[in-house]
């Protein structure tokens, strides 16, 4: 059976590092996170160039996917790592499920992941 559920509204909010309180709404089923770099071909949907002064977030750091009714976080081979709820560093190329209210860490920037209507 094919999953035809509509993607719920969701967002990332910076909670530490960068511009605290800044929100990024996740509106497609693949969202790249990183820093803008026209020379290297990095054009992320969530561009943290101005929020990551120390450049701890890689140009192609991570991405959030929405597949089969679940949100997933995948590290894209970042230098400084991607973490969920301060757990072990994600292995690049191996997406891990994320849920409402999870804390996501990329470099030195912390985010809260929210899904509208979730408890």
| pLDDT at site 18 | 83
Indicate the domain borders of the chain: 10-115
| pLDDT at site 79 | 96
Residues 58, 34: contact at Cβ < 8 Å? yes
The pLDDT of 78-103, averaged and rounded, is: 98
Q: 2.40.30.10, 2.40.50.140, 3.90.45.10, 2.60.200.20: which CATH number matches 10-115?
A: 2.60.200.20
Alpha-carbon span 10 to 112, nearest angstrom = 11
Residue indicated by tokens 């160039």: 49
The pLDDT of 73-97, averaged and rounded, is: 98
- Asked whether the predicted pLDDT for residue 4 surpasses 80, the reply is no
The pLDDT of 89-110, averaged and rounded, is: 98
Q: Over the stretch 18-55, which tens digit does the pLDDT of each residue have?
A: 899 999 999 999 999 999 988 887 799 999 999 988 88
């Amino acid at each position: 059976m094919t999953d035809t559920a509509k993607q719920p509204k969701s967002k990332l909010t910076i909670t530490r590092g960068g511009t605290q309180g800044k929100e990024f709404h996740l509106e497609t089923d693949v969202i790249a996170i990183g820093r803008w770099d026209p020379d290297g071909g990095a054009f992320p949907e969530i561009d943290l160039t101005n929020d990551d002064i120390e450049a701890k977030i890689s140009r192609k750091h991570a991405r959030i996917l929405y597949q089969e009714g679940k949100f997933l976080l995948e590290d894209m081979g970042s230098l400084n790592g991607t973490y969920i709820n301060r757990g072990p560093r994600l292995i690049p190329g191996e997406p891990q499920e994320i849920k409402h209210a999870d804390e996501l860490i990329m470099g030195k920037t912390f985010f809260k992941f929210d899904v509208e209507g979730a408890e």
